Structure 1
């Protein structure tokens, strides 16, 4: 990208914010070098990096980067044989420790997957031996410890002994000859212990003079008695320095051996800090990851200028490159036109830099090879160019380079010259750019360009809203509606006399007046549409709330119904068990009776079998275990299997297998085609046991608990119903279902009329939701 464009769009301020979020000098260095990329794959990769870091921050709130420093200069020195200082060696150790902690932090995260960041941290090598070697020699303050070597421990022990002897000698002077001293203290000059002796007592204390005060009243004398001890102490300190240099040289050699690994660690840590600084910037802006494209498509909802205060900025919806490739924005000064230009341009640069953009989730941004902008007063005094000339020079350069992969931003196109010529020139420039299929956003005051936006293909008008009541801009961008001048209305509200306004209106051309009327009509239509939309949205939200309440109530109803069914079945089972026990007792007594010999053994067995079959089969309503659910989702289904249609939450039966992945399901009186993944297997029905035979008019026949009358004539259906009721009464059914369908309703009315006059029918009702609804009548028998 052109450096001038980056300056015009204030990209540098974004980089400043980004740099402030980096925690290490490595990350700050990477942030300061960031530039937008025009490679789509690279930009997408950057965006995924930032998104992964954003996920870590969302879950953990931070990332450990403490102790990591820029050790590149240290490694460069060891590569040429240099010896590092103790503090520099400690920097290497703390960087190794910081990398180890970061790697462990990422590895301990079970979720999310983080493929990019995990791959980066896998390249970090902890080097525990080198870290331990350095920390065994250097403490946290960067001082070589006594235990770094045996020789250093011995030398420092000698130094401590000499210092103790020297201190005792000097203190004897301060106690015994204090009157000869300027101050009863021991001080140091030229790295040797001395006494501050008064000038007049120069000969009283024999020794070497190392210094004197500025007034000459005090001499700093090393007593002769301590000269030898001071000499020994200085020699010991020289030995100490020599031993420390030896230790640091050994550590530097060890660091040099692992220099390739350390260099890679530094690169990885710099990259991770840089990635997380991008994520932190996005979090501070409440930004979202855009999906990137190479088609020049920009779609942002509630987009905000990233450099304006969050509590002051007005969010706007911006769309470019879908139904139109160019936008012409009109409206009053200070209304936000230039801010909109910079918003689009700056968000484009941010997106192409791997930064998230301040907009709602689901935004789209395009990758352009170049972004060109002619914004603001770039007049060059050195070149003695006018404002118009300066802008035109810039525009000429843009027209030579623009193509279908560029974004062009024009601010006040054609301004600075005669209005009529400026408007014509602006339209010609726009024609040139639009024909090259570039993406263009231009602002203007010229009314001629409002009509241009309507007549030109791939071009649309837009405006910044102005509140006539408050005489203030609202900074809202209205795409599809050109801006009105509002000059007459504003003048009227500011007190300009009506006859002056009327005179001005007479001077306005008919064409201009008609354009203003059209804009006013569009503006009114927009306001009405927005009001209708808000009202519809309220109704939608209310309907959604009612729907959720009904769903919750229906769920509670189903749970309560299942609970009651279960309780009833359990009570029925208990009653049967009790009856069986009583029957067993009676059977036992009968066996012992004398006349029991008349009963055959197979009759006893048959009676007991019938008693066992009377035991009700309880419906298992327990939720499926995960393993059971997996089996039910993958099992091949056969005709007759009972299933649950998940999309409707209804039970049904497999009526036909259309293919391996599609079935026809009978749900009540309705047949539905459904995919296998939308079906939950419940059970394969057992083969029906033969029911007890009911004797009807001297012969045995099977009686079902339901009768299907659909498709039969009215008289035949009622005749068959009467016969069926006799059989059902003999079979002992408490209730039966009569399937008559919905149709015209004549057959249903006939069934209900028969039910009213039949002496053995206690009640009749329409079927429930799972019984067939109004297409079934349930009869309760006496």
Structure 2
């Protein structure tokens, strides 16, 4: 992109805003070099990376990027043989740690299945370099001081230093505390001159202590003397300090060599961290500006929804809707000065530059942008009265340059096209320039005062009029962009409202051609229609939003009602289950007593116990988490059911008989051992069902089958098999769905013979041995067809 265009559209101010959100000098460098990309793939990658940063900030609220520094100069010095300072080594250590900490941070989010493919790829390239960081941290503290632990030799030397300093202070303190010496001293203190411990002695007592004079006060009345008694120890201290310096240099040299060995890895880490800092600077900027990720296309199509100029505060800026590249490629904006035409022009250009720089845009969701190879702008201070030939010449020079370069992948912005010269000639030039650029397929947004250009949009395909709204009542612009409506100067209305004579205004109107008057009336009508449509659309949008909210509220309440209903049903079923379970437990106790009586008295048969227990089990309701299936209920409730009449209870799929009618629409029904109150539409008479069956009902008079069991114990084999065959026929005619054949356990021969017979019998549906409560292997349970 041309630097002049970036400057005219104030792109540099966007970069200045972006700089406020970086974490290190690495990010600053990336932003200083930032330029819009012109390839769709590059722009898409940058937009996706910014969106990942926004996603991380939304989920975590922060990112750990502290401690990262631009250590590339230090890395270079290590490679060419220099010795790094402790401060440089500390910065290298903190940068290594910062990169590793951020890597762990992103890896933690990836473990939580957050989709961050670009950041994942970046952190995979960060080398931990743990050993180098450890060596630096073990040797140098955060303030850049080489610690005693850096080497055993350094620890020994520093112990000697502390010993020498302690001895020197003891000797000098004994002098300063001595009553004899105090009158010779200017002050009873110990100080340092030329890295040696001294005491301040009055001039007249200079020979009392011997030793060396290192300094004197400005007046010459005080001499700073190193007494003879500490000269030797001071010499030893100085020698130890020299050794300390040599050992520190040796340590720093060794650490520098380690840095040099991993220089390539460090440089790559810095490159990755620079990109990461840049990504999160864009993400923080997006959050601060309330921006959104735009849709991208390669169709030279733009559709901005409520786009805002990013350099105007949200409280003052008026959002605009702009579409280019669909039904029209050129937008001609007319209207009065200070109405917001230039701001509209800059908003379109600046939002495009932001999108192509990987920044999210200040607009609403679903806004769409394209990638322009170049953006051209001729924008100047045309709202000044100082429009002369030099201004016109300057603009035309810029326009000529634009016309030489423009193509179908360009966006061209003209502010007050053709201004600064004779209106007739200026309008003609403006029309020709727009035709030329439009023929080359470029997207155009132009502002103008010329009324000739209002008709231009109607006479050219792919060109649309637009205007900035002006409120006649308040004499102020609203800064709203009206698409499809050309602007008016409103000179007569404004003059009238500020007090210009009506006669003068009428006379002025007479000088306007009839065609122009018709155009003004048409424009006024269009403006009124546009405003009405806007109001109706806003009202419809509000009503729609209210309807959607109401629908959501109702759905939520319905869901809550269904959940509450289900909980109540579950609770009722659970209470019923507990009640039946209690009854069943009591029945089990009775059955145990019956078995005891059977053993003692032998007059209670096993099949009675089996049948009683089975009926109890079938009567126990099963817990159902779903609500009652009302599709199983009778649409037409049966009427006038009589006591003793056999019915089917649809809700529990069990047979029973009517005990009594307890209400207008309810009956008490005996199901097994349990009595229950049931609504009429939950009952189905058994007799009505039998009438619908196609098979005739055969009744056998004097049937010997009175109970659904046959006891074969004690019978001969052949007699037993004949009895089984007869028993099955009679049981089928009696309507039993299931019968029991008691053959005993014995040798198993009778059981085998019975089961062989049952396998081929046409009336047998299924067979199984009895359960523990039904007689076990001594009984065969037969299901009949």
**Could you tell me the TM-score, scaled by structure 1's length?**
0.74
Matches of 1:203 and 1:605, distance apart in 2:
130
1:56 aligned partner: 56
2:375 aligned partner: 371
2:155 aligned partner: 153
SS in 2 for 1:386: helix
SS in 2 for 1:368: coil
Matches of 1:606 and 1:195, distance apart in 2:
116
1:469 aligned partner: 473
Q: Contact 2:211/2:228 (CA < 8 Å) preserved in 1? A: yes
How far 1:451 sits from its partner (Å)?
1.1
SS in 1 for 2:183: helix
Of 709, 731, 735, 2:687 maps to: 731
Q: Contact 2:375/2:410 (CA < 8 Å) preserved in 1? A: yes
Q: Contact 1:20/1:28 (CA < 8 Å) preserved in 2? A: no
1:281 aligned partner: 285
1:25 aligned partner: 25
- Structure 2 residue 334 is the aligned partner of structure 1 residue 330: yes
Q: Contact 1:570/1:618 (CA < 8 Å) preserved in 2? A: no
Change (3 A) 1:584 1:183: closer
How far 1:424 sits from its partner (Å)?
0.9
Matches of 1:51 and 1:148, distance apart in 2:
45
Per-residue CA deviation, residues 728-768 of structure 1 (Å, 9 max, x unaligned), is: 8772579x9xxxxxxxxxxxxxxxxxxxxxxxxxxxxxxxx
The aligned runs of 1:121-160 (5 Å cut-off) are 121-160=123-162
SS in 2 for 1:177: helix
Change (3 A) 1:182 1:557: closer
Matches of 1:166 and 1:610, distance apart in 2:
107
Matches of 2:559 and 2:285, distance apart in 1:
45
2:505 aligned partner: 501
- Structure 2 residue 527 is the aligned partner of structure 1 residue 523: yes
How far 1:366 sits from its partner (Å)?
1.1
Change (3 A) 1:177 1:312: same
Q: Contact 1:55/1:112 (CA < 8 Å) preserved in 2? A: no
2:236 aligned partner: 232
2:483 aligned partner: 479
Of 299-308 and 391-400, the range deviating more from structure 2: 299-308
Matches of 1:546 and 1:10, distance apart in 2:
45
Matches of 2:336 and 2:273, distance apart in 1:
50
- Structure 2 residue 117 is the aligned partner of structure 1 residue 115: yes
How far 1:189 sits from its partner (Å)?
2.2
Per-residue CA deviation, residues 129-157 of structure 1 (Å, 9 max, x unaligned), is: 22111111111211111121121112112
Change (3 A) 1:732 1:613: farther
1:597 aligned partner: none
Change (3 A) 1:202 1:502: same
How far 1:560 sits from its partner (Å)?
6.6
Per-residue CA deviation, residues 410-458 of structure 1 (Å, 9 max, x unaligned), is: 0000000011111111011000111111011111111111111122111
Change (3 A) 1:479 1:104: same
Largest Rg, 1 or 2: 2
Q: Contact 2:389/2:421 (CA < 8 Å) preserved in 1? A: no
Q: Contact 2:125/2:269 (CA < 8 Å) preserved in 1? A: yes
1:184 aligned partner: 188
Structure 1 gaps, min length 5: 594-599, 624-649, 654-667, 669-688, 693-727, 737-782
SS in 2 for 1:537: helix
1:163 aligned partner: 165
2:16 aligned partner: 16
CA RMSD of aligned residues (A): 3.9
Of 232-241 and 40-49, the range deviating more from structure 2: 232-241
Matches of 2:295 and 2:429, distance apart in 1:
36
The aligned runs of 1:675-754 (5 Å cut-off) are 731=687
How far 1:253 sits from its partner (Å)?
1.0
How far 1:17 sits from its partner (Å)?
1.5
Change (3 A) 1:385 1:142: farther
Matches of 1:198 and 1:53, distance apart in 2:
70
- Structure 2 residue 323 is the aligned partner of structure 1 residue 319: yes
Matches of 1:171 and 1:568, distance apart in 2:
94
Change (3 A) 1:731 1:153: same
Q: Contact 1:186/1:193 (CA < 8 Å) preserved in 2? A: yes
Q: Contact 2:333/2:447 (CA < 8 Å) preserved in 1? A: yes
SS in 1 for 2:326: coil
1:701 aligned partner: none
Q: Contact 1:305/1:343 (CA < 8 Å) preserved in 2? A: yes
Matches of 2:11 and 2:20, distance apart in 1:
15
Matches of 1:564 and 1:242, distance apart in 2:
85
Q: Contact 2:43/2:358 (CA < 8 Å) preserved in 1? A: yes
The number of equivalent residue pairs is 638
How far 1:243 sits from its partner (Å)?
0.8
How far 1:55 sits from its partner (Å)?
0.5
1:43 aligned partner: 43
2:220 aligned partner: 216
Matches of 1:548 and 1:335, distance apart in 2:
42
Change (3 A) 1:64 1:224: same
How far 1:510 sits from its partner (Å)?
1.4
2:458 aligned partner: 454
How far 1:201 sits from its partner (Å)?
3.0
Matches of 1:651 and 1:398, distance apart in 2:
76
Q: Contact 2:203/2:221 (CA < 8 Å) preserved in 1? A: yes
Of 540-549 and 609-618, the range deviating more from structure 2: 609-618
SS in 2 for 1:292: strand
Q: Contact 1:299/1:320 (CA < 8 Å) preserved in 2? A: yes
SS in 1 for 2:139: coil
Q: Contact 1:467/1:474 (CA < 8 Å) preserved in 2? A: yes
How far 1:374 sits from its partner (Å)?
0.3
Of 352, 361, 373, 1:357 maps to: 361
Q: Contact 1:189/1:210 (CA < 8 Å) preserved in 2? A: yes
Change (3 A) 1:37 1:385: farther
Matches of 1:618 and 1:514, distance apart in 2:
84
2:98 aligned partner: 98
How far 1:615 sits from its partner (Å)?
5.3
Matches of 2:167 and 2:614, distance apart in 1:
115
Matches of 1:552 and 1:96, distance apart in 2:
52
Matches of 2:222 and 2:33, distance apart in 1:
59
Of 287-296 and 436-445, the range deviating more from structure 2: 287-296
Change (3 A) 1:181 1:421: same
Change (3 A) 1:456 1:242: same
SS in 2 for 1:108: helix
Per-residue CA deviation, residues 527-586 of structure 1 (Å, 9 max, x unaligned), is: 111222233233323433443454345546655766787788889998899899999999
2:673 aligned partner: none
Change (3 A) 1:556 1:292: closer
Change (3 A) 1:529 1:215: same
